[in-house]
Structure 1
Amino acid sequence: MRMTDSEFRFQLIKEYLKPNKCNYVFIAEDATSSICRIGYDATLNSFIDFSAPLIGGVPQPNSFQTENFEQLELWFNEIVLSDPPFILAADRSNNRAKAIEIFKRWLFIYHQCLAQDIHVIGFSTDADARFLRAMRLCSRFFCNITRF
């Protein structure tokens, strides 16, 4: 399905959720691509982009080095497939949005989803200061909306 820049796909998200009989979503905003792939780093002689095993909660580097095809096949078979993320909207940013504008966009998304009987249970994003400030506005955590 073709996407138009800055166009929200609220009707499509409802169709996307129907097979799972779910009407709760968590909105994540990020500039990172959501297309997953496995790569090979020749300098490390290691496959990359697999989820590294955790030891004591810490991901272990270079965990996927092998000369054995069967081992590589085993790693691929251990990948748990899940529904891909639904992209509600895509837009370009000039990096000038203020926290209050982000907060207002989230309110818009919340209300538009609610009109489709979809309940947004939260928003998240990367560590950009404006987005963190918008999260603080949402939670009223050490901030006052009248200051923004």
Structure 2
Amino acid sequence: MESLIRNQEMRMTESEFQFQLIKEHLKSNKCNYVFIVEDATSSICRIDYDATSNSFIGFSSPLIDGVPQPNYFQTENFKQLELWFNEIDKAKVINLYMLKSLVLSDPPFILAAYGSNNKAKAIEILKKWLFIYHQSLIQDIHVIGFSTDADSRYLRAMRLCSRFFCNITKF
């Protein structure tokens, strides 16, 4: 992943989706139909300071309508930082979102990455997918599907999306 970021000459910010760069990435193949792939990978819990964004990374990013909030952990107050260390979950996994054009020769594109405590509910996952879908449409990019592993929360989100033996009021 690190070499892909370097090859794409990207400056990644935790929890920030790179929607403004999608169109540029897809310009060469003239295909605006994509698939989004999501995966979570275990990570070592560690808090770092990112001087570029003036924020602390490594805490579990809070979700608002399923979407992680970039630069949420910004402070110059030691008491606030101490409170976060004592009360906020450290990120146990890294969630990674990749975008892949339908053109086979086109390389994948890193859409976003963020630390998580891996406690998101199915409805939050579905809301995040809807956010990605709508933000991509604004860029005239059509998301034709999402792919992930067999985590039960993601399967529930897929069932919610398709209304397959499930009721949204239960989630």
TM-score tier by shorter-chain length is 0.5 to 0.7
Q: Deviations over 1:26-70 (max 9, x none)?
A: 1110125xxxxxxxxxxxxxxxxxxxxxxxxxxxxxxxxxxxxxx
* Aligned residue runs from structure 1 range 79-118, under 5 A: 82-118=105-141
RMSD between aligned residues: 1.4
Partner of 1:18: 27
Structure 1 segments, 4+ long, off by >6 Å, are: none
Q: Does structure 1 conserve the Cα–Cα contact (< 8 Å) formed by 2:19 and 2:136?
A: yes
* Aligned residue runs from structure 1 range 121-140, under 5 A: 121-140=144-163
Q: 2:38 aligns with which of 29, 35, 45?
A: 29
Distance 1:7 1:26 in 2: 19
Cα distance, 1:140 vs structure 2: 1.1
Q: 2:164 aligns with which of 116, 120, 141?
A: 141
Partner of 2:88: none
**Paired residue type of 1:124:** S
Q: Which 5+ residue runs of structure 2 have no aligned equivalent? A: 1-9, 42-103
Distance 2:106 2:31 in 1: 13
Distance 1:122 1:86 in 2: 15
Q: 1:7 aligns with which of 8, 16, 21?
A: 16
Three-state SS of the structure 2 residue aligned to 1:88 is strand
Q: Deviations over 1:84-141 (max 9, x none)?
A: 2111110111011000000000000000001111111011101111111111111111
Q: Percent identity?
A: 85
Distance 1:82 1:22 in 2: 12
Number of equivalences:
100
Compare relative contact order (CA 8 Å, sep 6+) and give the higher one, 1 or 2. 1
Distance 1:27 1:120 in 2: 7
Q: Which 5+ residue runs of structure 1 have no aligned equivalent? A: 33-80
Distance 1:124 1:133 in 2: 13
TM-score scaled by length of structure 2: 0.56
TM-score scaled by length of structure 1: 0.64
Partner of 1:120: 143
